[in-house]
Structure 1
């Protein structure tokens, strides 16, 4: 670290010194009290595995942690991780996919799956899309909010740790099915287009693939990605107008937007597992498979910004296919050998049709986006836990992973003033592939200095490597040799018909940019040393150091330099300290305090010379090769009270001081480049927050139980901008909030359970306050996403054979999603999604 307020070596020295000091004190006391009778003491050393109860996990952990256990996942009825984590204090979700922890987005968060770092399915981001992970394969979620040396150095806001289900205790065999109905969508007409026959299985059947001859012809032998067409006899001419017209006819002529009745949501699932006791231990396995399809559509969607006044229709058909398999051995020495295979797929078929007035062109317009996207996650993880010398513990894990985002034939078209605009028509083909390798090992050695003081020393190593390939090609149309048709007021399929292409009314051109394709790699090597000292059974001192090296490179194979040179890379090595103290006042009260230093590395595209388009919004993204690594000082204080009959209440205070935070920023350009965004290091950012979290059984009798839970988080942040950002955003922007940070987050959960009939009813309320969605130039105030409240209800009936029937009501309030200018309050986009009702039944054999 370049600036350090306290020596990183203090953490370990304090731990070791305190251990020995207390040990000496205990020995002196024993010597002085020589008259005391001698009692033979027997110490039993064993591994403690906390219960799968969220309260117990939080209480027993040596760090500040919030947990969602398997029972809570079932009670809340959340279908994926993104829906579940927003129930946790201080956590919100961005775009329905990305976690924001304590006001900090993905660049300040680490995400792990069974302890290994996860790759992403987003070509431009490092954080994980949480909606890809279904809740039915999870054993729980743990969000660690205080940094410890065993965590990645970028764990500033927190670490989202997902744990999949382990080996079952007995034979399990379950079949399930579900049906869902959106009160404003299902059965009503939605916009759509002609897709492939296998879309419902998350796979395109080849209909959307780029024609092989087109791709091969337009790819230059010298590596260039664009080849101009010409219509004369020239040795340098590769593609004539006639050849271009012939190649254009190989694309399916599918552009028009149709309408169809929205189908109900549905899903099916199977899970099966067993355990077999053997002379050497216990063998077991668990298998889960699932397939689901759903349809959503925005209601009353409008836009009114400085460039466009319009209304639009947007529908999305989502299909999910997932599989999970764990098998392994638990040996007679309490050791564990596990293999976990996770395969997840999600496809989204989105149709958007927009009509309105474009102020820049001063004309009316119609435009459409037809987008198919496949995301896939595959991971094979091997792990083990073994004990030596009665109390020493060895843990290891090794995993490989592959993620992908395949988006073939994303079509956009535009009609201006009633006439077809061929140059605004595009067919885009994108393919992301990322391979990951993760290896970790740790060794724990407990040492008893006296009867009242003991220390566990832990030494660990982590290696994580990610290799990413992003390939993209763009095709468009321009008037051909014989000119565009005289009548351009017909629909797009008529304009780009085989007849018009054959008659060379339009010709095909490739408009791929050299930076649309890139290769990137990142690598983490880390060694950490951690000590956990227990003093007099009620004080725990945890101190550790982490030496972490991070390297990141990006290479454009189609760039002007094809010799293998890379863009400016990140090459950082940091020594990161962490120290915490837990004091158990009595059996009910516990106080925790911690301090640490962490870092945040710029993303792959952020720290580059790239200029490319956001695949979601089509906005221009301009990288900044001069970005620097952010450094953060973290301080946490939490008091916890645990009720005798279960439940707890906690109050946490936290502070984060960020040097050189990376922020999405306004571009310093004009024309079309002014409409995009870039990234800059601000001077600093300060973040302060308070979290109140509680859960309590209000009433429990032999027949009924009532419980109440919830949390409230108040977060304030202040960003000191650099001179360029102040000049572009305006003087008043200095001191603004961090982007994506809500000042207020809240959750309330009320549950009632009838024991005799095994019925449960849970009511869940979630709220987030206004937050900055995007910063803009000084002439306009920032764009904020208005805060909103959501209300869900989940009913569950469990039968005697553990079969279950569930009814869930989601988004009951159906508050509008709205973006507006912060100062004027003028809405620039708004829509609603509709309330949903779903029913499911699972039969247990």
Structure 2
């Protein structure tokens, strides 16, 4: 009966929250709150059931299963609180300032009692001292080597997506503005978790997560774990990116934001595209580009089973609008809405909260004069990208007694419509000149839901954590259209290449759907070893992936027996497939029949682990254990001649992380761990896809093996003051059967597939974040922080003949990465100034083949700036951001003379060269 009444109360509160979301009465608060977390000084473990009392009153609360507490209903003023927990020294904290309608955040670190004396020992501290001590504890007591970034730092940068944010983390870079590279290792060697459950690959042709689809405003914090512990998935070598979104807020809020951006080479300038629907602006094609129900099957088309009338009807059912539209690109737009609600329920002050957010981004960007000048090719491309991104987050949390339940949901949809116009020559063909058109829409969506629970078990701070996850990934390419015009002589006519299905005359309809189901349970129990409190942890997890992929290559070919064919192929692209031509029967519907284009795949990963976080002494800590993963995979192509792919592996993955406290502010860490990475479905499929941008065909290798990686790390870290760090790290990695793309460029068109090779990588990282108050503890210096991180990595892959490079670095590995910046606060923190710099060393974009060496990405300097000013009693903020101010060229080249420099006069060839323009934006955010 009690539970039934509690559910009724919860439902009534939820209804009240949703129906009064827009009411200003909820925000008219005359009281404030003190909220935070109680942790162990030595391990940063949260303490469940600690009591937090307001001195001189009867007001108090106990911490929940996350060690969190909230003291609400406090009148504005100064307070002192006392924190008590059995077996720990009590702590009294004074000078805590509370403001009306605001939350004062205070985390408190407690130390274990050193004696069994009956007299109580109370440690006294001020608010600032307690805050600094807890921050020190969190910084120092990480189980593994890791780096991270908080929501506070994210707000002070010009970054709008998670991909942008990750550029700021030590040893991390971003490729193509969305794929993460950690320690110079490309995306396939990195893993991603969202709210504790694995993120799927968003790309149909590679193992990679596109971090640009998660807006930065939805993030609570990001941590990149660079060494393995048994309780996290083992499929990484560079790092595991852990992203946490917001659940129960500290207080009610409602915020709106709007922003506009100007790109120096795109905005208000000529922008070309295919036809545009109104729904495109909302991220949905609306179905106008898809194959309609009842469209002929592959068997009907290939078997010539269509009558002339059916042939014409089928062609007319396609979207044959090939017009190129011109307009002036508008300003980039971004809008966001966020709502947070929290309520205390019942006498026990159980807490129910929700965070809901909606985001929208739209941009029209031009990349003119892309030069592709290498081998047979001398092309110039103009590309026009129309992008819409819509996202939604809905997180719900309920904290009751010593338990907490969260239900977290994220949806994101990206509409990316690219139009390419190419001119130039291909010396491997008989054409004197080319005019190539490509209309290429890719729609991607991610739906991810996680239900998780945390529960205290018994009275000794034992904890049970579980979660259930579901993810759905859609990659929809509804009608990629390519048409090339050629002329045989300088003064000849351009004619359309519509004589047969080919890479210059096909329409690709592809659809990928993947569902992922996951479950995990962890149990953690404190144990006494060597008179020190340690933690034993054990867990089980499973993940099931189910993918379906289908692609059809359809072409309209000219009937050369029709007397009008010579005139039709000279038509401009807008009327080439006009209705009058189609209705005359001059075109025949054809399809490239290749059942390798369709496959189904599934995999099941089951894991279990045992782990001990062992405090051997006051200064020495060892975290060690074993993770066991069993992996099964099945992939079946619809082509009866393609081999079925099966994988069945069981791997034992030990790890040990050692930490020695040299001083109260410094640690020395060492670790060894074994990890792995597995082939993606696409890398195992024999499906071949011609990529017109890189002028090569991509296909998989069904014989790939998993990669096993042995890792070793050493790190010294020093924390001069709270929020500051100086660290030095070294690492070594040995790869058995590393998965690398292999290029066969011996034919007229390059083919890229994947093979296993042995490799190694080693390097070191340095990081520093320091306030300038050591120069002068006042004014400008006190409010200025500088930071920098540098990563240096060397790797080597050994190859055999006939490759022209017998040794080379790993693909995507940068020899060095530099991130640096400065942050200044002024006018009582109303004004914030951030300057950010990034540079990475040249890295291999594609590995070399038999005729040509590797394609290298040339280094470039990236400089960003953001100014933020708080207005309207600090509830509003105006931000001005400048991204990629220097706008240096993006250059990818063949190092033909082998001098490790981009040098056209020395014979180097340009794989591609382009500018993206500097972007300047102005945004306004207001929180009620």
> 5 Å matches for 1:633-712?
633-644=710-721, 646-667=723-744, 671=747, 675-682=750-757, 684-699=758-773, 701=778, 705-712=783-790
1:295 CA displacement: 1.6
Determine the structure 1 residue equivalent to 2:210: 129
1:477 CA displacement: 1.5
Query: 1:512–1:273: structure 2 CA closer, same or farther, 3 Å change rule?
Result: farther
1:155 CA displacement: 2.2
- Is 1:401–1:436's contact at 8 Å kept on the other side of the alignment? yes
> 5 Å matches for 1:709-728?
709-721=787-799, 726-728=800-802
Determine the structure 2 residue equivalent to 1:155: 236
- Is 1:320–1:347's contact at 8 Å kept on the other side of the alignment? yes
1:707 CA displacement: 0.4
Rounded to whole Å, the distance in 1 between the matches of 2:137 and 2:834 is: 21
TM-score, scaled relative to structure 1: 0.88
Rounded to whole Å, the distance in 1 between the matches of 2:119 and 2:238 is: 44
Q: Residue 854 of structure 2: which of 782, 801, 811 is its match?
A: 782
Query: 1:436–1:617: structure 2 CA closer, same or farther, 3 Å change rule?
Result: farther
Q: Residue 737 of structure 1: which of 796, 809, 814 is its match?
A: 809
- 1:345 aligns to 2:413 (yes or no): yes
Rounded to whole Å, the distance in 1 between the matches of 2:424 and 2:133 is: 54
Rounded to whole Å, the distance in 2 between the matches of 1:313 and 1:38 is: 76
Determine the structure 2 residue equivalent to 1:26: none
Stretch moving more, 633-642 or 266-275: 266-275
Determine the structure 2 residue equivalent to 1:235: none
1:617 CA displacement: 4.8
What whole-Å deviation, never above 9, does each CA across 1:536-582 have from its counterpart, x for those lacking one? 322110101001011122112x3227xxx972222110010000100
- Is 1:307–1:359's contact at 8 Å kept on the other side of the alignment? yes
1:226 CA displacement: 4.9
Gap regions ≥5 residues in structure 1 = 1-35, 230-237
Determine the structure 2 residue equivalent to 1:519: 600
1:50 CA displacement: 11
> 5 Å matches for 1:544-559?
544-556=625-637, 558-559=638-639
1:276 CA displacement: 0.8
- Is 1:483–1:505's contact at 8 Å kept on the other side of the alignment? no
- Is 1:336–1:384's contact at 8 Å kept on the other side of the alignment? yes
Q: Residue 317 of structure 1: which of 386, 406, 411 is its match?
A: 386
Determine the structure 1 residue equivalent to 2:837: 765
- Is 2:202–2:210's contact at 8 Å kept on the other side of the alignment? yes
- Is 2:460–2:526's contact at 8 Å kept on the other side of the alignment? no
- Is 1:515–1:612's contact at 8 Å kept on the other side of the alignment? no
Rounded to whole Å, the distance in 2 between the matches of 1:638 and 1:608 is: 41
Rounded to whole Å, the distance in 1 between the matches of 2:134 and 2:180 is: 23
- Is 2:333–2:362's contact at 8 Å kept on the other side of the alignment? yes
> 5 Å matches for 1:205-244?
205-214=286-295, 217-220=296-299, 226-229=301-304, 238-244=305-311
- 1:471 aligns to 2:550 (yes or no): yes
Determine the structure 1 residue equivalent to 2:527: 447
Q: Residue 183 of structure 2: which of 82, 102, 112 is its match?
A: 102
1:465 CA displacement: 1.1
Determine the structure 1 residue equivalent to 2:505: 425
- Is 1:472–1:512's contact at 8 Å kept on the other side of the alignment? no
What whole-Å deviation, never above 9, does each CA across 1:303-361 have from its counterpart, x for those lacking one? 1111221212101111111110111112233x321111111111111111011111111
DSSP 3-state at the match of 1:239? coil
TM-score, scaled relative to structure 2: 0.81
Rounded to whole Å, the distance in 1 between the matches of 2:364 and 2:528 is: 60
DSSP 3-state at the match of 1:83? helix
Query: 1:196–1:116: structure 2 CA closer, same or farther, 3 Å change rule?
Result: same
DSSP 3-state at the match of 1:676? strand
> 5 Å matches for 1:354-369?
354-362=422-430, 363-369=432-438
1:76 CA displacement: 1.6
DSSP 3-state at the match of 1:815? coil
- Is 2:308–2:585's contact at 8 Å kept on the other side of the alignment? yes
DSSP 3-state at the match of 1:636? strand
DSSP 3-state at the match of 1:199? helix
Rounded to whole Å, the distance in 2 between the matches of 1:402 and 1:662 is: 26
1:754 CA displacement: 0.7
Gap regions ≥5 residues in structure 2 = 1-113, 123-129, 488-493, 898-902
> 5 Å matches for 1:483-522?
485-487=565-567, 488-522=569-603
CA RMSD of aligned residues (A): 2.4
Q: Residue 537 of structure 2: which of 453, 458, 468 is its match?
A: 458
- Is 2:396–2:408's contact at 8 Å kept on the other side of the alignment? yes
Rounded to whole Å, the distance in 1 between the matches of 2:760 and 2:121 is: 47
Q: Residue 515 of structure 2: which of 413, 435, 443 is its match?
A: 435
- Is 2:158–2:864's contact at 8 Å kept on the other side of the alignment? no
Rounded to whole Å, the distance in 2 between the matches of 1:187 and 1:350 is: 18
Determine the structure 2 residue equivalent to 1:25: none
- 1:567 aligns to 2:644 (yes or no): yes
Rounded to whole Å, the distance in 2 between the matches of 1:369 and 1:141 is: 38
Determine the structure 2 residue equivalent to 1:22: none
Query: 1:654–1:38: structure 2 CA closer, same or farther, 3 Å change rule?
Result: closer
DSSP 3-state at the match of 2:302? coil
- Is 1:459–1:530's contact at 8 Å kept on the other side of the alignment? yes
Determine the structure 1 residue equivalent to 2:313: 246
Stretch moving more, 146-155 or 251-260: 251-260
> 5 Å matches for 1:39-438?
39=117, 57-214=138-295, 217-220=296-299, 226-229=301-304, 238-278=305-345, 279-280=347-348, 281-333=350-402, 335-362=403-430, 363-388=432-457, 389-417=459-487, 418-422=494-498, 423=500, 424-438=504-518
Rounded to whole Å, the distance in 1 between the matches of 2:442 and 2:332 is: 19
Determine the structure 1 residue equivalent to 2:126: none
What whole-Å deviation, never above 9, does each CA across 1:239-275 have from its counterpart, x for those lacking one? 1344323321222321132321011011211111121
What whole-Å deviation, never above 9, does each CA across 1:92-119 have from its counterpart, x for those lacking one? 2222221111122233221100110111
Query: 1:343–1:123: structure 2 CA closer, same or farther, 3 Å change rule?
Result: same
Rounded to whole Å, the distance in 2 between the matches of 1:494 and 1:841 is: 45
- 1:841 aligns to 2:916 (yes or no): no
What whole-Å deviation, never above 9, does each CA across 1:407-451 have from its counterpart, x for those lacking one? 111111100111111133222211111111111110011111354
- Is 1:351–1:368's contact at 8 Å kept on the other side of the alignment? yes
1:40 CA displacement: 5.3
1:801 CA displacement: 4.2
- Is 2:387–2:414's contact at 8 Å kept on the other side of the alignment? yes
Rounded to whole Å, the distance in 1 between the matches of 2:877 and 2:541 is: 42
1:376 CA displacement: 0.6
1:803 CA displacement: 1.6
Rounded to whole Å, the distance in 1 between the matches of 2:881 and 2:627 is: 45
Query: 1:135–1:774: structure 2 CA closer, same or farther, 3 Å change rule?
Result: same
1:757 CA displacement: 5.5
Determine the structure 1 residue equivalent to 2:682: 605
Rounded to whole Å, the distance in 2 between the matches of 1:467 and 1:645 is: 46
- Is 1:482–1:503's contact at 8 Å kept on the other side of the alignment? no
1:616 CA displacement: 6.8
Q: Which has the higher contact order (CA 8 A, sep 6+)?
A: 1
Query: 1:51–1:121: structure 2 CA closer, same or farther, 3 Å change rule?
Result: farther
1:513 CA displacement: 2.1
Rounded to whole Å, the distance in 1 between the matches of 2:751 and 2:534 is: 54
- 1:809 aligns to 2:882 (yes or no): yes
Stretch moving more, 393-402 or 793-802: 793-802
What whole-Å deviation, never above 9, does each CA across 1:744-783 have from its counterpart, x for those lacking one? 1000110110142611000000111111111232332211
Query: 1:594–1:73: structure 2 CA closer, same or farther, 3 Å change rule?
Result: same
